[in-house]
């Protein structure tokens, strides 16, 4: 049995990742900030696709809350007994799109707790468990995948805190990749571009026009399943000698051009 923890795994990009990992034979530990009755349809959809040996379990968890993270790890250890893959996908965008001249510390602190502090310390807890599993069984395969954004390098002055958080998550990938290489635990970053999801719903019209005008060379929106396929590739170990690398899922948007 292979088990994956996907944070934010029942909406948007996270749901696309969950579906792809099911096809790879993973059982799923899923967490999010919503109550279980608010995710029942998505959870039922995933469970209907599980084979006899697979299961999908949902845990309500605020990734930015230390107690929630600790409780999450304890429950997964109890329910699954092992974990092969951590996908740090959960994240939030800026509450208000304010110029950096008027950005508030309250919004900054809220976003950073969820987008940076949460994934970092969740990874810390999970990889310590992964190391223990690796020492018990040298054949044990484990990896960590961070879902960041093209905003890690593309600056947006009206949501600077979001851009900073994704740049920090990118460095987090490199740090954990270096630290865990000796244990054979690979860490990767996937950097999506314009993906159709609930997070981009409010700017669909704006970006659809930009896409039509050629801002994305492939001239289409990305979809959650585009990211899901990339996660599946890494989860299989297809890029086992590429630790710490960034996989761009952006339709060529970030290719330097004149």
What are the per-10-residue average pLDDT scores of the chain (258 residues)?
A: 96 97 98 96 96 96 97 98 97 91 96 98 98 94 97 96 98 98 97 90 87 95 97 96 96 93
Instruction: Please give the class, per CATH, of domain 2-244.
Output: alpha beta
Other Cβ atoms within 10 Å of 135 Cβ, number: 10
Supply the pLDDT for residue 142: 97
Supply the pLDDT for residue 199: 78
Separation of alpha carbons 84 and 8, rounded Å: 18
Burial class (CB in 10 A: 0-12, 13-18, 19+), 52: exposed
- Write down the domain spans for the chain: 2-244
Supply the pLDDT for residue 258: 83
Supply the pLDDT for residue 101: 97
Supply the pLDDT for residue 82: 96
Helix (H) / strand (E) element for 187: namely strand 186-192
With tokens 């792809």, the residue in question is 20
Other Cβ atoms within 10 Å of 86 Cβ, number: 27
């Amino acid at each position: 049995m292979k088990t994956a923890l996907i944070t934010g795994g029942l909406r948007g990009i996270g749901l696309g990742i969950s579906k792809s990992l099911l096809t790879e034979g993973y059982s799923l530990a899923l967490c999010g900030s919503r109550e279980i009755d608010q995710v029942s349809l998505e959870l039922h959809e995933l469970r209907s696709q599980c084979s006899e040996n697979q299961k999908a379990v949902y845990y309500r968890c605020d990734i930015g809350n230390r107690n929630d993270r600790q409780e999450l790890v304890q429950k997964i250890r109890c329910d699954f007994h092992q974990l092969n893959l951590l996908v740090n996908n959960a994240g939030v965008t800026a509450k208000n799109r304010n110029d950096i001249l008027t950005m508030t510390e309250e919004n900054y602190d809220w976003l950073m707790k969820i987008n940076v502090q949460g994934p970092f310390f969740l990874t810390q807890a999970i990889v310590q468990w992964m190391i223990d599993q690796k020492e018990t069984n040298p054949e044990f395969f484990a990896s960590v995948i961070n879902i960041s954004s093209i905003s890690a390098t593309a600056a947006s002055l009206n949501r600077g805190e979001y851009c900073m958080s994704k740049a920090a998550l990118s460095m987090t990938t490199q740090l954990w990749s270096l630290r865990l290489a000796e244990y054979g635990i690979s860490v990767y970053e996937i950097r999506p571009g314009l993906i159709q999801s609930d997070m981009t719903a409010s700017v669909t019209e704006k970006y659809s026009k930009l896409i039509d005008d050629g801002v994305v060379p492939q001239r289409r929106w990305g979809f959650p399943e585009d990211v899901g396929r990339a996660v599946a590739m890494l989860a299989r170990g297809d890029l086992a000698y590429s630790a710490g690398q960034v996989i761009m899922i952006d339709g060529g948007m970030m290719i330097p051009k004149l």
